[in-house]
Amino acid sequence: MSSSLKILVVDDTPANLEVICETLGDAGYEVITAIDGDRALRRIQTNLPDLILLDVQMPGIDGFETCQRLKADPTTANIPVIFMTALSDTDSKVKGFDLGAVDYVTKPFQEQEMLARVKTQLQLWQLTKNLEQHINERTAELKTALDQLHHSQLQLVQSEKMSALGNLVAGVAHEINNPVGFIAGNLQPAQDYVQNLLQLVALYQQELPHPSATLQAAIEEMDLEYLQEDLPKLLISMREGVNRIRNISTSLRTFSRADCDRPIPFNIHEGLDSTLMILQHRLKANEFRPAIEVIKHYGEIPQIECYVGQLNQVFMNILANAIDALEEVTQKRSFENIKTNPNQITIRTQLTDDPQLVQLRIQDNGIGMSQEVKQRIFDHLFTTKEIGKGTGLGLAIAYQIVTEKHNGSLDVNSTLGQGTEFIVTLPVKIQVIY
């Protein structure tokens, strides 16, 4: 990595410049120098470095002022700055970090320590640049995809729009898996390396029970005891975060599973859970209401033969409508009233009296619907929502999927002001006619 990286060293002491340049040069870095802040700022205009080692005490503008000017210029604002100083007081360090420095190297220099700090900050800088580049690339790709989506929006709305969502979710899950796999694959080696380094530090402490004043100052500055305790915890937290992302990715893949040309066995509880995961952002508390409670009563039911992707679309349509109904009732109730009587969605699964039929009930305690609305709820293009908020296709598509594709039934029970319940009845095995 170091062979292509450039470091600007700014120091008014020739002896310091010579030592630092030799150390960094031996490590494979390209080094450029300046003897004061003014020259450094001019040098940067034509020779942009990847990192700056900046002396604090210099004639003319000091290191703090130089750093402030660097951070005020968009061209140089993101270049990492490491201060070099004999000052060890806390105020000076805090001032440097407030101005945007990423680290400190204390004079007189410890070569290995300086190299370690430089290497760490350059690695972080490279990772940041790579991430920014990847984000920009992905943003451009997503913008292109979004433009294409706008062009075909009318056609998608007229067909099964939820299948488009399924394809999008599958693509997102696939894209998540690549970086997550990379991180997960490197976490264990990283944990091993850290453990080895900590063990090595412990051995050094045993061999050198009385370190020099300089080394002791460095130990106290970095709070070595806390670092040894906290670093393994950070890695464990990172592993938990990766596992969380993997669970989300699994839910996305379950929801968007592509259909075969014939039904396959499927655990509908997995489909329900993946759909709830996708809708989690709508279930969370916000400034207008507490979180919507989801109560699950999953019964002992067998896997059923179904078209998985299409059945997940049914779950999405019904649950999204339940959330919409609860959002609407929120406008008529106070926050405290909702807190006392929470918005709820209750999901029940069970076998019917006929063991070849599975029943799913999704009930909300929202606004309910009138008899007139209930009679038209599955009609094509019928909606009670405001213009722009509903197409009238969601429940019509759900009804078609359940009744025509799965030989089941979709019914609704509702009383105005008392909530709504959708009842999906599905055969365990579909009789497919070829």
Q: What confidence score (pLDDT) does residue 393 get?
A: 62
Average pLDDT of the residues of the chain: 81
How far out from the chain centre does Cα 194 lie?
A: 25
Where residue 125 falls among pLDDT bands split at 50, 70, 90?
confident
CA 290 to each of CA 74, 330, 347: distance values in angstroms, whole numbers, following the listed order = 42, 10, 19
Q: What confidence score (pLDDT) does residue 207 get?
A: 85
Across 135-151, average pLDDT? 71
Closest by CA to 55, choosing from 69, 40, 45, 44, is: 40
Q: What confidence score (pLDDT) does residue 381 get?
A: 55
Radius of gyration of the chain measured on its C-alpha atoms: 31
Q: What confidence score (pLDDT) does residue 385 get?
A: 55
CA 377 to each of CA 64, 101, 368, 380, 400: distance values in angstroms, whole numbers, following the listed order = 68, 61, 12, 9, 13
Where residue 123 falls among pLDDT bands split at 50, 70, 90?
confident
Q: Is the pLDDT of residue 76 over 90?
A: no
pTM for the model stands at: 0.49
Per-range mean pLDDT, top range of 48-57, 66-75, 353-362, 368-377: 353-362
Instruction: Report the distance separating Cα 176 and Cα 174, nearest Å.
Output: 5
At a CB cut-off of 8 Å and minimum separation 6, what does 31 contact?
6, 7, 8, 9, 20, 21, 24, 25
Across 111-130, average pLDDT? 84
Per-range mean pLDDT, top range of 11-15, 87-91, 243-247: 11-15
43, 45, 51, 53: CA torsion to nearest 10: 30
pLDDT, tens digit, for every residue of 323-366? 988 888 777 777 887 888 888 999 999 999 998 999 999 999 88
Which helix (H) or strand (E) segment holds residue 359: the answer is strand 357-364
How far out from the chain centre does Cα 404 lie?
A: 38
Q: Is the pLDDT of residue 59 over 60?
A: yes
The secondary structure of 17-78 as a DSSP string is HHHHHHHHHHTT-EEEEESSHHHHHHHHHHS--SEEEEESS-SSS-HHHHHHHHHHSTTTTT
Q: What confidence score (pLDDT) does residue 210 get?
A: 85
Across 401-410, average pLDDT? 88
Q: What confidence score (pLDDT) does residue 350 get?
A: 94
Instruction: Report the distance separating Cα 306 and Cα 315, nearest Å.
Output: 13
Amino acid at 121: Q
Query: What would the two tokens of residue 427 be?
Result: 């055969």
How far out from the chain centre does Cα 13 lie?
A: 46
At a CB cut-off of 8 Å and minimum separation 6, what does 89 contact?
none
Instruction: Report the distance separating Cα 328 and Cα 368, nearest Å.
Output: 10
How far out from the chain centre does Cα 271 lie?
A: 22
Across 140-167, average pLDDT? 56
